[in-house]
Chains A and B, each alone.
Chain A
């Protein structure tokens, strides 16, 4: 168990040559490490775009200040290259955004799902430094207790939650699914939220809520025209 001879030992911080697994990946140009998408199979970026981005990669070291666009608000925050978006939201932003939950911290459960440039993503699998210039929406940005979004309202009406710890992730995943596919049927909704898990067993009511939200959003869109 001794790790004193580990050449990648990430002891250093604050400008002293920090290397961690994530920053190592980052430093070697493995940009796609941050590209795992929630809710199904990741669609890779185009090869050309990937190459272009790889050439832009600079090796980042130490703590650095970045600006993130979270829920329409530009926020400066100090992170390390290895800091995940989830950790940034929950522990570094002031005030912190703790709606996105840390459950597995390795892309297994969906509790930390956010929407990045319109697509659902596990925020535990995104590096904060990779999120610069992107539009990030968290559960807090979708609505407020006294101004619920249609999905949030439907979750309440259909009791699509119990302990509630997975709920923000399901609300975000459902929102992303319906924004991308406003006519999603039950099967498409189930696939859209298949990257999220709930231990209390609220799935049947989540299905009910998602279908009701879809209909409410369609009705609102029609009424608006």
Chain B
């Protein structure tokens, strides 16, 4: 029996107070699989007759290649496939480090044999070309342009045309009239996504017309078409499956070069191919958050109005353009002029990374705001309130200020000094913004069997956000069930399609069609149950796995009895509806640090975030997300930096020892507070926002603690000590 939603009352979310499943701490349904090692990720897929593939990357960013001899690799026991991936005969060399570095592929019966095969390949470089791996190198007058367009196109470019917004003449004139002017340059390094599961996939192809691709991807629906094309198969014959994936953060949307190679090898061999990047390859070719150099001249009046801002920014996105929203970003400035351009290096293209561009812009503007506030001797919190139009920020900043202890803090308008032990404590702030609306096409199928089993199917993917649990919880809320009563089916391109998970669109894309499908299922069930209970279907209520007549709880059926009235399986679809979602989230963060003036070490004692997002569906997963945003920002602020040897062009940080991410000992107390004062009855994604302001808040806290203004991340001890030395 199939029924489609017909004319009926428009669905809307229940008021928070009436929700019995949502807006509470809901356990992740796949938790037991993940904590026992039973959850199978792409890395873990083992299918019969599978081979392991590895890529050979050129370690130098730019090279003319004379020879790639894979014959010795083919002679290695266990190796079944070795192919060059450059057409050396026609002069194809390496133009930049990244996917263009891939010289050859080897596949073998074991991972070790594949590595043996790689080592056996003989590569000869005709010439190693000047590296051009830093912005400074790229801007040297005699440096060759290395930007996109080098192979075909209009020839390589050194930089992009600058994009501008605002009136420069007016902004410069406004600066002249300011009581204080701060001229500063803020610099952010390139950050890696550092997904713990590297990029890659298992392509299960055994000849013939069909294939299944187990991919570590943020876009299951979208990937199937790409994989089909790479395999030369019909789109409907290729299935992409991603039940669990080990982090994406914006870097895993497309098939990628590695996926194309895996498909090609599988097609050539007629055998399943397991190709997951090694950790080193992941650092070299799997994307990054662009760096930036932001020169700002800002001015304020003595009474705390942010009057003027002129910015000139460089985005450092390797072969990519990088990302950076226009300044003055969230703040209101009477007269502002913004200019930005990309400077290209011969390095891997930047990719989307959690709130692309925003953490970079936030660091610069939050630092500038702070510098102006201290320059006029004003409480930096008050200065922010004064120059943020949206009242939501005032409420949120007040809340985080209370949580972090700003009221009792002894030095608000001037920095403190180290105590007798050499410790200085300071507090800093920052705010964030994001969109978070979902989008079509996104649809969900709900099926109910007469035995009471129920599933909800939608091709979304759970990156660790808890969307699998969300799907079940929304259905459970509608039908008076527990989330564990509902089987959520996701991560399979054969299911009804939904959006890729980027830009915090997943909740806004998934929640509406699931709600619609659950609502349609409820109405179809109510039509049957009303007959059985001899009542008006409009008077039926669902609670605690029962359906009953409102006001007459004894006239009731259990969930199983209600489903038995169906007689045959019920199958309904729900489609995305804009009215169930919304757009625009706000967050405020505060950080308290303790600076050790003797060692320069910065210890983050506490971070607090108040975050809104319309409805909060799963408070437990919500806090996890917000915690994670704060911790990633802390890690970016204190530790992370991609480093190259500029002369050799070698990446010096291509492992998790030299590229340090925050561990258990680096973080302090982390407090995530859902903003329950947000009245919006809408599903809005928010997970980008918490990663935006934390590192800026930490830098501001360092200044508040000891008067050292660090304008370049990461905030390492040497910079603290240099700053202290300059002060004294």
Question: Which A residue sits closest to B77, measured CB to CB?
Answer: A13
A149–chain B nearest beta-carbon distance, Å: 9
> When the two chains form their complex, are residues A143 and B627 in contact, meaning their CB atoms are under 8 A apart?
no
> When the two chains form their complex, are residues A83 and B112 in contact, meaning their CB atoms are under 8 A apart?
yes
CA separation between A105 and B244, bound complex, in Å?
21
On whether A204 and B33 interact (CB within 8 A), knowing A103-B656, A105-B278, A193-B664, the answer reads no
CA separation between A22 and B480, bound complex, in Å?
58
> When the two chains form their complex, are residues A199 and B664 in contact, meaning their CB atoms are under 8 A apart?
no
Q: Which of A11, A95, A108, A203 contacts B667 (CB 8 A)?
A: A203
CB contacts under 8 Å to B, within A126-166, are: 138-140, 142-146, 148, 151-152, 155-157, 159, 161-166
CA separation between A159 and B465, bound complex, in Å?
11
Chain B residues whose CB sits within 8 angstroms of the CB of A198 once the complex forms: 196
> When the two chains form their complex, are residues A164 and B36 in contact, meaning their CB atoms are under 8 A apart?
no
Selected interface stretch from B117-125, B221-229, B338-346, B398-406: B117-125
Chain B residues whose CB sits within 8 angstroms of the CB of A165 once the complex forms: 41, 195-197, 246-247
CA separation between A95 and B40, bound complex, in Å?
13
Question: Which B residue sits closest to A105, measured CB to CB?
Answer: B279
Selected interface stretch from B13-21, B23-31, B355-363, B438-446: B23-31
On whether A101 and B246 interact (CB within 8 A), knowing A148-B36, A203-B631, the answer reads yes
> When the two chains form their complex, are residues B657 and A1 in contact, meaning their CB atoms are under 8 A apart?
no
CA separation between A158 and B621, bound complex, in Å?
10
Chain A residues whose CB sits within 8 angstroms of the CB of B27 once the complex forms: 156-157, 159
> When the two chains form their complex, are residues A191 and B279 in contact, meaning their CB atoms are under 8 A apart?
no
Chain B residues whose CB sits within 8 angstroms of the CB of A14 once the complex forms: 77
Chain B residues whose CB sits within 8 angstroms of the CB of A151 once the complex forms: 35
CA separation between A203 and B122, bound complex, in Å?
45
> When the two chains form their complex, are residues A108 and B36 in contact, meaning their CB atoms are under 8 A apart?
no
B219–chain A nearest beta-carbon distance, Å: 16
> When the two chains form their complex, are residues B664 and A190 in contact, meaning their CB atoms are under 8 A apart?
yes
Chain A residues whose CB sits within 8 angstroms of the CB of B193 once the complex forms: 199
Q: Which of the listed residues A11, A105, A140 has the most CB atoms from chain B within 10 Å of its own CB?
A: A11
Chain B residues whose CB sits within 8 angstroms of the CB of A152 once the complex forms: 32, 35-36
Chain B residues whose CB sits within 8 angstroms of the CB of A143 once the complex forms: 35-36
> When the two chains form their complex, are residues B116 and A10 in contact, meaning their CB atoms are under 8 A apart?
yes
Question: Which A residue sits closest to B664, measured CB to CB?
Answer: A190
What does DSSP make chain A's interface, helix, strand, loop or mixed?
Answer: loop
CB contacts under 8 Å to A, within B67-85, are: 72, 75-78
Q: Which of A82, A104, A171, A191 contacts B665 (CB 8 A)?
A: A191
> When the two chains form their complex, are residues B657 and A108 in contact, meaning their CB atoms are under 8 A apart?
yes
Interface check A182, CB cutoff 8 A: no
> When the two chains form their complex, are residues B32 and A97 in contact, meaning their CB atoms are under 8 A apart?
no
> When the two chains form their complex, are residues A199 and B37 in contact, meaning their CB atoms are under 8 A apart?
no
Interface check B628, CB cutoff 8 A: yes
> When the two chains form their complex, are residues A1 and B59 in contact, meaning their CB atoms are under 8 A apart?
yes
CA separation between A152 and B36, bound complex, in Å?
7
Chain A residues whose CB sits within 8 angstroms of the CB of B279 once the complex forms: 103-106
B587–chain A nearest beta-carbon distance, Å: 15
On whether A98 and B43 interact (CB within 8 A), knowing A139-B37, A156-B27, the answer reads yes
CB contacts under 8 Å to A, within B174-204, are: 193-198
CB contacts under 8 Å to B, within A183-207, are: 190-191, 193-194, 196-207
Q: Which of A105, A108, A162, A201 contacts B465 (CB 8 A)?
A: A162
Chain A residues whose CB sits within 8 angstroms of the CB of B33 once the complex forms: 145
> When the two chains form their complex, are residues B77 and A155 in contact, meaning their CB atoms are under 8 A apart?
no
> When the two chains form their complex, are residues B656 and A197 in contact, meaning their CB atoms are under 8 A apart?
yes
> When the two chains form their complex, are residues A98 and B35 in contact, meaning their CB atoms are under 8 A apart?
no
A132–chain B nearest beta-carbon distance, Å: 19
Interface check B52, CB cutoff 8 A: yes
Question: Which A residue sits closest to B125, measured CB to CB?
Answer: A1
Chain B residues whose CB sits within 8 angstroms of the CB of A3 once the complex forms: 119-120, 122
> When the two chains form their complex, are residues B628 and A196 in contact, meaning their CB atoms are under 8 A apart?
no
> When the two chains form their complex, are residues B38 and A145 in contact, meaning their CB atoms are under 8 A apart?
yes
Q: Which of A16, A104, A105, A148 contacts B35 (CB 8 A)?
A: A148
CA separation between A82 and B119, bound complex, in Å?
15
Chain A residues whose CB sits within 8 angstroms of the CB of B30 once the complex forms: 164
CB contacts under 8 Å to A, within B618-674, are: 620-621, 623-625, 627-632, 655-657, 661-665, 667, 669-670
CA separation between A168 and B463, bound complex, in Å?
17
Chain A residues whose CB sits within 8 angstroms of the CB of B458 once the complex forms: none
> When the two chains form their complex, are residues B624 and A159 in contact, meaning their CB atoms are under 8 A apart?
yes
CA separation between A162 and B28, bound complex, in Å?
9
Q: Which of the listed residues A1, A80, A145, A193 has the most CB atoms from chain B within 10 Å of its own CB?
A: A1
Interface check A123, CB cutoff 8 A: no
CB contacts under 8 Å to A, within B600-632, are: 620-621, 623-625, 627-632
Q: Which of the listed residues A13, A90, A165, A194 has the most CB atoms from chain B within 10 Å of its own CB?
A: A165
- The 7 nearest A-B residue pairs measured at CB: A99-B37, A165-B246, A163-B464, A201-B631, A201-B628, A162-B464, A164-B34
Question: Could you jot down 21 A-B contacts, CB within 8 Å?
Answer: A2-B123, A9-B120, A11-B75, A14-B77, A82-B112, A92-B110, A101-B41, A104-B657, A106-B279, A152-B32, A155-B31, A159-B623, A159-B624, A163-B196, A163-B463, A164-B464, A165-B196, A168-B34, A201-B627, A202-B627, A203-B662
* Additional A-B contact list (9), CB under 8 Å, known A148-B35, A197-B661: A1-B122, A3-B122, A104-B656, A140-B38, A191-B664, A200-B624, A203-B670, A204-B670, A206-B664
Q: Which residues of A contact B (CB under 8 A)?
A: 1-4, 9-14, 16, 80, 82-83, 87, 90-92, 95-106, 108-109, 111, 138-140, 142-146, 148, 151-152, 155-157, 159, 161-168, 171, 190-191, 193-194, 196-207
